[in-house]
Amino acid sequence: MRVRKRGYRIFGYSFALLALFFAVPSLADPCLVVYPNTYCVYHYDPMEYYTVGPGDPLYDPLYDRGGKVLLDVHTNAVDPSIYQAPFLMGFQPSTGGEEGYFFAGTEFDLIVDGFNNAPVTYTNILLVFVPYPSSCTPTITVGGNPVLYDTGLGLYYPIGDLVVSTPTPDGNNYSDTVMKDIHWSGCSSVRIWAFADEDHDLMHEAGECFTAFSHDVTVPTESTTWGAVKALFSD
């Protein structure tokens, strides 16, 4: 399952982030950026992004996370949407086609960010939860309330509208956020993404969306996938 970015590139099961993510508001069912309010590592698609370190002509210490700067392969520029996560610790090439913000923990605040290149209002935003393994049935609450289920969309939760009108510090984009308290249990990990279901049909009709991957550290999993996240919590 892939759900790509906001009208251009977005993300889902293997949710990638694109520089072209900056959506045109008229596109159907635009995606929003989602990331945890905790330590995370961004897994990127090497076909879309690459990293540079100190000494490279394109290295900018302002965007250094864990000794690397992430750049778009098409523009050689930083994609500011990815850097929205306040506790972004570093970058790692994706494994198994899974891109997004990887982090540990089953109780956290999830930030839904309407980052865009123009002021816009996103209506009827839905959080979507994809459990792993797919055979498990997690217990998930958002702000203490249980999530809903639709046979087509799966597990989801409506969080209302978001007006995006606040300029970012560089003045070139706009960003407003809403934060939700998430608790879950019963699986090894849960993928979370969000889109504005503006036609209220419980169907996502645009591209792939940004994804947050929450992992239960008490459940064993492949070290190649979660090693960088676990290392953040080691001595």
Cα→Cα distances 95→12, 186, 221, Å: 15, 24, 13
φ/ψ of residue 74, rounded to 5: -85, -35
Q: What is the pTM of this model?
A: 0.82
User: How confident is the model over 72-116, as pLDDT tens digits?
Assistant: 999 999 999 999 999 999 999 987 778 999 999 999 999 999 999
Predicted confidence (pLDDT) per residue in 180-215, tens digit: 999 999 999 999 999 999 999 999 977 778 899 999
**pLDDT confidence band for 170 (50 / 70 / 90):** confident
Q: Higher model confidence: residue 9 or residue 95?
A: 95
What six digits make up the tokens of 27? 């596109």
Nearest-angstrom CA–CA distance, 84 and 137: 31
Q: How many CB atoms lie within 10 A of CB 153?
A: 17
**217 or 182, which is more confident:** 182
Residue 114, both tokens: 């309407």
Q: Is the pLDDT of residue 234 over 80?
A: no
Q: Write down the pLDDT at residue 227.
A: 52
Return the pLDDT at 209. Answer: 85
For the chain, the domains span: 19-231
Q: What is the pLDDT of residues 39-65, one digit of tens each?
A: 999 999 999 999 999 999 999 999 999
Tell me the β-bridge partners of 104: 215
